[in-house]
Amino acid sequence: MLRTSRKYAKSVFPLCIVLALLSAGKSVAELLIAPAILNKIELSASLGSVVFTIAAFALVLMLLSGLRSYVDTNALFGRIAVRSQGIYLSISRKYAETSYPNLLNTDFLALGEKASAACAGNSESSEAIWTTLTDLMTSCIGFIVYLALLTNLNLWLAALVAATTAVSYFASKRINEWGYLHRSEELELTKRIEYANKTATSREFAKDIRMFGLRGWLEDLWGSTMRLYSAFCAKRERKYIWANIIDIVLTFLRNGIAYAFLIGITVKNGLPASQFLLYFAALSGFAQWVVEILDKLSVMHKQSLDISTIREFLDWDEPFDLNGGERIAFEPNKQYEIRLDDVSFRYPKADKDTLSHINLTVHPGEKLAIVGLNGAGKTTLVKLVCGFLDPTEGRILLNGEDIRKFNRNDYYALFSAVFQEFSVLDVTVKENVAQCVDGIDEARVWQCIDKAGLTEKIKSLPKGIETHLGRRVFKDGVEFSGGQTQRLMLARALYKNAPILVLDEPTAALDPIAENDIYQKYNDMTHGRTSFFISHRLASTRFCDRIIFVDSGKIAEEGTHDELLKNGGGYAYLFEVQSKYYRSDNQDGTSDGSPDAAIK
């Protein structure tokens, strides 16, 4: 933390020391003010002298409070800078730059959630630890000053106060540890409550709630979870009651002994009332400093554990060396051969291979269709080809060279892709197409939009390509339909102009006619490029030079569209089923959208 603070806000730690000195000084001044005034009265001082003493202390307290407020405000900006610009940005960068396999690792994702939670706000550990450190230093200074004062009275009395305070603190700490050990149970219940609340108020679920009468179900879910949460809180509070009873009893004993000791000194030695007040206040304050030191040490330990979670997340091992390896010069017009040599892949913690012994060569400029039912392994195959995953067994070769020898980021640059799970950012149309902010070629953006068939739609928008998409960030943003979003993704792939094109279920949200139009455009844009078309709908297959039918993680069939139909295997069956489905629709009066019709 100190190293991070020196980089983003050098003043944070020095300001903590200044704040601690000012806070401790204010506490000492507050301790002395009443005995000092009472002492003046005991000495029969003039009214002017009493007023002057009051005014002097008031001025000191005002100056200390003002200075502390000023320093604390300045320290706040530094603490925020360390948390947001230093730590949170590092976490975001880790998510953005980490190797793709990490994003499939549930342990990595769980650790990332904990790390993000530790810097989600001002009260979280990555920022709050500075306040805790300040309070701990304040308590240590106060402890030393008050101990020095009480040493003049009786050291054993100070030890008694410290001991009873420590017992009370550790009793309370044990209860707090119970809450910490059961935090996952509480978190699970609060997540359920939050889910019910968000679902009930979400625009996304509004139609389903009304259409299917889900309001009662959500209310029952919320009510049953709240009952469980209330029972958990009641159990926790019962434990807190015992800690409070112990604290009350020990406080009564401590104060009683202190009163008796001070009264005894007063009777025996004639202790002035002002000193009686000073020592008794010092005893109470000393006990509070002991509590604060123990409490802040405990809090700092927990915060340190949270911060160590952040460090553990940032230091998580990377399966890929994204910046190392042999460089690949980006050449949009260069053609590449991709070969899978006995490739198998198994996801972490899975009990069987998703893909098994795949042997496939995709020739330069070839259009390959990868088809099969959902769950057959098509998308996993694409992730392997794109370099997001490395094979469990076998090799993937680019122009005869194992892709693991290349710079992984350079390898990614060879691909333009439209994935099944695409992302649309809440930025302008042109930024979505170019996937950058600076150096955008607007003429090229319009060219790609035109090729994607979106010109009319974009021109109808109030700000054209400067229009924002989505309404989560910008109130004036617009929402695209599924088909319009697919065309936007096509424009994005066109703008990148990479030599290898990957289309993973790119028309899943489209009707057959729109699907046919999109595939016609894909066919035009893929001329001369190595291309992969992945789908379980077969409208794209006729455009391709070759088709592979994936079933249960293996290449079950391979050939052209006509060859596979003649073979009468799984591909032919799937094609026939889809054709019957569309023909059935046609008999009901809808337009013929069969695979055959879509490609004619």
Please say whether the beta carbons of 131 and 259 come within 8 A.
Answer: no
The SS3 of residue 421 is coil
Instruction: Sketch the domain layout of the chain as residue ranges.
Output: 2-314, 338-423+493-598, 425-479
pLDDT, tens digit (0-9, with 9 covering 90-100), for 435-455: 888 889 999 999 999 988 889
Of 41-45, 439-443, 464-468, minimum mean pLDDT range = 41-45
Check pLDDT > 70 for residue 599: no
Paired strand residues for 535:
371
Q: How many CB atoms lie within 10 A of CB 552?
A: 15
pTM above 0.75, yes or no: no
pLDDT, tens digit (0-9, with 9 covering 90-100), for 137-164: 999 999 888 888 888 777 777 787 778 7
* Domain spanning 338-423+493-598, CATH architecture: 3-Layer(aba) Sandwich (3.40)
Please say whether the beta carbons of 494 and 504 come within 8 A.
Answer: no
Check pLDDT > 60 for residue 294: yes
Paired strand residues for 500:
415, 530
Q: Is 223 exposed, middle or buried (0-12, 13-18, 19+ CB in 10 A)?
A: exposed
Better-predicted residue by pLDDT, 153 or 282: 282
pLDDT, tens digit (0-9, with 9 covering 90-100), for 336-395: 999 999 999 999 888 899 999 999 999 999 999 999 888 888 889 999 999 999 999 999
The residue among 360, 379, 366, 394 whose CA lies nearest residue 500 is 366
Please say whether the beta carbons of 330 and 410 come within 8 A.
Answer: yes
Alpha carbon 480 to its chain's center: 27
Coarse DSSP helix, strand, coil percentages of the chain, rounded to the nearest 5 percent = 65, 10, 25
Q: Which residues have CB under 8 Å from 453's CB, separation 6+? A: 487, 517, 521
Please say whether the beta carbons of 298 and 132 come within 8 A.
Answer: no
DSSP H helical ranges for 270-315: 273-314
Both tokens of 544, joined, read 């391709």
% of the chain surpassing 70 pLDDT = 92
Q: Is 517 exposed, middle or buried (0-12, 13-18, 19+ CB in 10 A)?
A: middle
Residue 508 is predicted with a pLDDT of 64
User: What is residue 405's DSSP assignment?
Assistant: G
Q: Which residues have CB under 8 Å from 333's CB, separation 6+? A: 499, 528
% of the chain surpassing 90 pLDDT = 31
- Cα dihedral across residues 504, 508, 512, 514: positive or negative: negative
Distances (CA, A) of 383 to 10, 118, 345: 44, 32, 11
CA angle 366/372/374 to nearest 5° reads 130
Q: Which fold has domain 2-314?
A: ABC transporter transmembrane region fold (1.20.1560)
The SS3 of residue 530 is strand
| Whole-number average pLDDT of the chain | 84
Please say whether the beta carbons of 40 and 53 come within 8 A.
Answer: yes
Check pLDDT > 60 for residue 203: yes
Q: Which residues have CB under 8 Å from 154's CB, separation 6+? A: 261
